[in-house]
Amino acid sequence: MSQSSPGSPLPPASPDLPVLRVAVLGAGTVGTEVLRLIAQQGEDLAHRIGGRLEVIGVSVRDLTRDRGEHVPADLLTTDPAALVREADLVIEVMGGIEPARTLLLDAMAHGASVVTANKALLAQDGPTLYEAADTHGVDLYFEAAVAGAIPLVRPVRESLAGDRIQRVLGIVNGTTNYILDAMTRTGASFDEALADAQELGYAEADPTADVQGHDAAAKASILASLAFHSRVRLGDVHCEGITEVSAQDIAAAGRMGRTIKLLSIVERVRDETGERISARVYPALIPDSHPLSSVSEAYNAVFIEADAAGSLMFYGQGAGGAPTASAILGDLVSAARQRVRGGVGPRESRYAELEQIPLDDLRNAFYISLTVQDRPGVLAEIAGTLSGYGISISTIHQELIDQSEDGGEKSLAHIGISTHRALESAMTASLDVFSSTATVLSIDSVLRIEGE
Amino acid sequence: MSQSSPGSPLPPASPDLPVLRVAVLGAGTVGTEVLRLIAQQGEDLAHRIGGRLEVIGVSVRDLTRDRGEHVPADLLTTDPAALVREADLVIEVMGGIEPARTLLLDAMAHGASVVTANKALLAQDGPTLYEAADTHGVDLYFEAAVAGAIPLVRPVRESLAGDRIQRVLGIVNGTTNYILDAMTRTGASFDEALADAQELGYAEADPTADVQGHDAAAKASILASLAFHSRVRLGDVHCEGITEVSAQDIAAAGRMGRTIKLLSIVERVRDETGERISARVYPALIPDSHPLSSVSEAYNAVFIEADAAGSLMFYGQGAGGAPTASAILGDLVSAARQRVRGGVGPRESRYAELEQIPLDDLRNAFYISLTVQDRPGVLAEIAGTLSGYGISISTIHQELIDQSEDGGEKSLAHIGISTHRALESAMTASLDVFSSTATVLSIDSVLRIEGE
């Protein structure tokens, strides 16, 4: 990792390069890695930027904790507000909405360019940050906010800036992928897999943001905004987590040659009312032959479909200190280069102002599982209800689950049904009927089927 | 593909946006697609750029050919030299070294930024182009030169600008991948698979640049230069093509659970003399479990290994009119934005000036196949030679191929040997011994094993 080597000593960068003052907000796993990379690659970065980075302070909540050799105690401060006003470049890895939001706005008002990994803040209030960057002529970069080290923000907003993105579909949350992957491999329940993930450090003590899909939804809102040149906020993203995914669902998917993954999907949808966009997060069954089905452990992978480029896939580590720090450093170099050479990076692009399509208007394929009374006519009744709402059945799997002694009314069966694509509203209506039908004892699962 | 839709009419871009004059050099498959995208996405591009693109001319060799609706006859010219002097932005998709080189230098001297897909020119004389861009304060973009629509140049030179890339390994030539994939699926010979590929449009009438590895080597030189901040020219890349890969090699690889792919590899190599870099192209055996082994038809896929980011993979269409045009348009938008807003894009970065490691000094694993006399002691002799040069055998497969009538001296055997990693120079020395040994009748194949 040293920048010099016996065979090829790195020529020193010119000593009179301009100096850029860097403030780091937060010294957790990512912040520490950012500081390590800046320290270890100082000479390389000076060459690449044409300027020298000088870390002028690191804001923390606890001054007394030892944070290792790359976080010198004399740089620590509990006054981030004062720190950001002195900086040319501010790296925000503290997370949360406040005080991060106020600090970044203040930093930009004082002329600093900003690099942030804060997906929640961007999803909730990105436009305010963009406007501040615009007003003050500074840069706002956030590659690390989506899929860690995987270059995704820059490809979407720059590489594909001359193309028309139709769809982005991906696994962008490592924790939930780790849990679903474990459930698939071992047959464990959600609770068991979550406990294992927590023990191994793949899930946090409070896993809500991950397992409820909020983290993936924040990333979907960022990707949708960039891909469709429209403002898509967190509240616009339909979001379902994985807490209801059962070992039975995983097994049923397996029987159908499918794997359950938590997907973030943003896409253009054209129908008779015109073109609208959809941003949604939910666990879905995808074919085992789909490349996303083999994305294991905490890895992330994202497909982008664009008119001219066709299908592109990006794969890598979506989280972790070093990968996230890599993305931040890439942005830092870009922002620093602009400082030195003039110019500004990409701005918010929201000219298209595409409307959101309500979930009800989407057409999706479904897998539903029901517990029903095992008596003649039940299947016909269920099929009739679905058919009445225009939903066509693709496959049915029926299994007796409780054979009572007299073989009579108390026998129960489990029915798993996969459907062809149908309106979400039609499925909702069918489920309403099922939940008020005596023969259907419970609706055990409702999952979409994607990637066909 | 229309930019307007009944539900969400695109708000028109301001009519008084600055106009950017675009010259297109070449109107083949890619040039035509570029012009189609500019025409169809005009309003979108104006919004994204903050300026309007006006195509002022398209240089061709034949004015009389009809090139479809998106290449208006009145824009055609056979005087590219005059055209580039009038342009703000020049798109070069004519290919070849001259006159492309002179035209691009002239364009930059007259203040135009340049977007080129010309990998051969960049690999042969990239530094001259970079210097011209630097001298005249204009941009030089070339995403389309490597792996078509797959964002690779921008991720390497920008997203990973704060990381330390150790290795880039990928399939970056669609034609050879199509041929090798067909050989693997059908058992066809190279000549048969090439003829099929030519018939289907996957290989050109003169396939030399592809099948000899020159195209992949040009891309390797570009990637190595960017990844290692050093100048790596085409002549620095060790290059072997796929013309010698036989159906027998493919079958032998299959028996070993491996697939043969043409790989472009650029990497840092540390040994006792320090850190050097290697750039090379050759057909290699990779494990069937390696993600690159399942890259089929004309697709491209590239792995990047960086210290902090870890392993990243990029996958998509590496060639074709529309995908290449997508990459060009992305660059065009970047270059146009800089024009409108000020600033310049990334420059050449060659500060590290890492030395090339000669092929002889590399350590590789090999698969070799020999035709030998089938008599006692032959295997021991071969094994002894390899061992004498420090090469350790991993697996041996022996097969009788010509049992003569008296079972005597004329019996022949085929021996396939895979080795552990050893110095290239040691393998060369061993092969020299084999070629002067009476018991070895022929050296049929020498292939590397990668991706273990």
Report the distance separating Cα A293 and Cα A291, nearest Å: 5
B317·A329 Cβ contact <8 A: no
Point out the catalytic residue in the list A70, A101, A214, A219. A219
Closest CA in chain B for residue A335: B158
Interval A183-205 mean pLDDT = 96
Contact present, B215 and B177 (Cβ < 8 Å): no
- Max CA separation in chain B (angstroms): 92
Instruction: Give the pLDDT confidence score for residue A343 in this predicted structure.
Output: 87
Binning pLDDT at 50, 70 and 90, where does residue A221 land? Answer: very high
Task: Give residue limits of the domains in chain A.
Answer: 19-148+323-341, 155-316, 359-449
Q: What is each CA distance from B32 to A160, B38, B71, B114, B151, in whole angstroms?
A: 18, 10, 7, 18, 21
State the smallest CA–CA distance between residue B274 and chain A in angstroms: 4
| Position B322, amino acid | A
pLDDT reading at A1 higher than 90: no
Instruction: Give the pLDDT confidence score for residue A406 in this predicted structure.
Output: 53
pLDDT reading at A7 higher than 80: no
pLDDT reading at A3 higher than 50: no
State the smallest CA–CA distance between residue A286 and chain B in angstroms: 19
Binning pLDDT at 50, 70 and 90, where does residue B15 land? Answer: confident
Q: Report chain B's C-alpha Rg in angstroms.
A: 25
Instruction: Give the pLDDT confidence score for residue B132 in this predicted structure.
Output: 98
Instruction: Give the pLDDT confidence score for residue B405 in this predicted structure.
Output: 53
A19-148+323-341: what CATH class?
alpha beta
Structural fold of domain A359-449: Alpha-Beta Plaits (3.30.70)
Kindly report whether the peptide bond that precedes residue A99 is cis, defined as omega within 30 degrees of 0.
yes
CB atoms near residue A18 (< 10 Å): 12
A164·B315 Cβ contact <8 A: no
Residue A317: list chain B partners with CB under 8 A: 309-311
Q: List the one residue out of B148, B113, B197, B123 whose CA is nearest residue B30.
A: B148
Report the distance separating Cα A289 and Cα A292, nearest Å: 8
Contact present, A183 and A201 (Cβ < 8 Å): no
A352·B44 Cβ contact <8 A: yes
B19-148+323-341 with B359-449: one CATH topology?
A: no
Binning pLDDT at 50, 70 and 90, where does residue A2 land? Answer: very low
Q: List the one residue out of B260, B312, B250 whose CA is nearest residue B286.
A: B260
Residue A343: list chain B partners with CB under 8 A: 338, 341-344
| Position B86, amino acid | E
Catalytic residues of B: 219
Structural fold of domain A155-316: Dihydrodipicolinate Reductase; domain 2 (3.30.360)
Instruction: Give the pLDDT confidence score for residue B301 in this predicted structure.
Output: 97
Q: Are strands B258-271 and B165-171 parallel, antiparallel or unpaired?
A: antiparallel
State the smallest CA–CA distance between residue A317 and chain B in angstroms: 7
Interval B337-363 mean pLDDT = 93
Contact present, B141 and B335 (Cβ < 8 Å): yes
Instruction: Give the pLDDT confidence score for residue B68 in this predicted structure.
Output: 86
Nearest by CB to B149, which of A150, A158, A312?
Answer: A312
Instruction: Give the pLDDT confidence score for residue B246 in this predicted structure.
Output: 97
Report the distance separating Cα B39 and Cα B33, nearest Å: 10
Q: What percent of chain B has pLDDT over 90?
A: 88
Binning pLDDT at 50, 70 and 90, where does residue B1 land? Answer: very low
- The neighbouring-strand residues paired with B239 are B281
Q: Could you read off the pLDDT of A372-392 as tens digits, one per residue? A: 998 889 999 999 999 999 999
A162·B312 Cβ contact <8 A: no
Nearest by CB to B163, which of A313, A330, A349?
Answer: A330
Token pair in block for residue A220:
């979907």
A5·B346 Cβ contact <8 A: no
Residue B161: list chain A partners with CB under 8 A: 48, 329-330, 333-334
B161-316: what CATH class?
alpha beta
Binning pLDDT at 50, 70 and 90, where does residue A404 land? Answer: low
Q: Could you read off the pLDDT of B297-322 as tens digits, one per residue? A: 999 999 999 999 999 999 999 889 99
Residue A323: list chain B partners with CB under 8 A: 308-310
Report the distance separating Cα A177 and Cα A95, nearest Å: 22
Report the distance separating Cα B54 and Cα B23, nearest Å: 9
At B206, is the secondary structure helix, strand, or coil?
coil
Interval A187-210 mean pLDDT = 96
Q: What percent of chain A has pLDDT over 90?
A: 87
Average pLDDT, chain A: 94
Annotated binding site of A for NADPH: 119
Residue B341: list chain A partners with CB under 8 A: 343-344
Nearest by CB to B159, which of A5, A44, A330?
Answer: A330
Token pair in block for residue B98:
């001259």
Q: Report chain A's C-alpha Rg in angstroms.
A: 25
Nearest by CB to A275, which of B7, B33, B41?
Answer: B7
Interval A216-234 mean pLDDT = 97
Element (H, E) at B304: strand B299-306
Count CB pairs under 8 A between chains A and B: 236
pLDDT reading at A235 higher than 80: yes
Q: What is each CA distance from A403 to A68, A251, A440, B127, in whole angstroms?
A: 63, 21, 16, 79
A312·B164 Cβ contact <8 A: no
A47·B307 Cβ contact <8 A: no
Residue B169: list chain A partners with CB under 8 A: none
Closest CA in chain A for residue B141: A159
Interval B53-63 mean pLDDT = 95
Kindly report whether the peptide bond that precedes residue B207 is cis, defined as omega within 30 degrees of 0.
no
Nearest by CB to A338, which of B7, B317, B343?
Answer: B343
Interval B156-164 mean pLDDT = 97
Annotated binding site of A for L-homoserine: 204
Contact present, B264 and B216 (Cβ < 8 Å): yes
State the residue for tokens 């008084």.
B16
Closest CA in chain B for residue A327: B159
Q: Could you read off the pLDDT of A115-128 as tens digits, one per residue? A: 999 999 999 999 99
Q: Could you read off the pLDDT of A87-109 as tens digits, one per residue? A: 999 999 999 999 999 999 999 99
B310·A316 Cβ contact <8 A: yes
Average pLDDT, chain B: 94
Q: Could you read off the pLDDT of B410-426 as tens digits, one per residue? A: 789 999 999 999 999 99
Select the more confidently predicted residue: A1 or A135.
Answer: A135
Residue A306: list chain B partners with CB under 8 A: 149, 326
A159·B41 Cβ contact <8 A: no
B308·A7 Cβ contact <8 A: no
Element (H, E) at B54: strand B52-59
Residue B354: list chain A partners with CB under 8 A: 8
Binning pLDDT at 50, 70 and 90, where does residue A4 land? Answer: very low
Q: Could you read off the pLDDT of B161-189 as tens digits, one per residue? A: 999 999 999 999 999 999 999 999 999 99
State the smallest CA–CA distance between residue A90 and chain B in angstroms: 15
Nearest by CB to A6, which of B274, B313, B316?
Answer: B274
Interface test with A, best of B299, B326, B357 (most A CBs within 10 A): B326
Binning pLDDT at 50, 70 and 90, where does residue A174 land? Answer: very high
Interface test with A, best of B34, B230, B269, B312 (most A CBs within 10 A): B312
Q: Could you read off the pLDDT of A288-311 as tens digits, one per residue? A: 999 999 999 999 999 999 999 999
Report the distance separating Cα B83 and Cα B104, nearest Å: 11
3-class SS string, chain A: CCCCCCCCCCCCCCCCCCEEEEEEECCCHHHHHHHHHHHHCHHHHHHHHCCEEEEEEEECCCCCCCCCCCCCHHHEECCHHHHHCCCCEEEECCCCCCCHHHHHHHHHHCCCEEEECCHHHHHHHHHHHHHHHHHHCCCEECHHHCCCCCCCHHHHHHHCCCCCEEEEEEECCHHHHHHHHHHHHHCCCHHHHHHHHHHCCCCCCCCHHHHCCHHHHHHHHHHHHHHHCCCCCHHHCEECCCCCCCHHHHHHHHHCCEEEEEEEEEEEEEECCEEEEEEEEEEEEEECCCHHHHCCCCEEEEEEEECCCEEEEEEEECCCHHHHHHHHHHHHHHHHHHHHHCECCCCCCCCCCCCECCHHHCEEEEEEEEEEECCCCHHHHHHHHHHHCCCCEEEEEEEEEECCCCCCCCCEEEEEEEECCEEHHHHHHHHHHHHCCCCEEEEEEEEEECCC
Could you report how far apart the first and last alpha carbons of chain A are, in Å? 44
Instruction: Give the pLDDT confidence score for residue A310 in this predicted structure.
Output: 97
Contact present, A130 and A121 (Cβ < 8 Å): no
Q: Could you read off the pLDDT of B80-130 as tens digits, one per residue? A: 999 999 999 999 999 999 999 999 999 999 999 999 999 999 999 999 999
- Show Cβ contacts of residue B156 under 8 Å, excluding neighbours closer than 6 positions: B165, B168, B223, B226, B227, B304
Interval B38-50 mean pLDDT = 95
A328·B162 Cβ contact <8 A: yes
pLDDT reading at A5 higher than 70: no
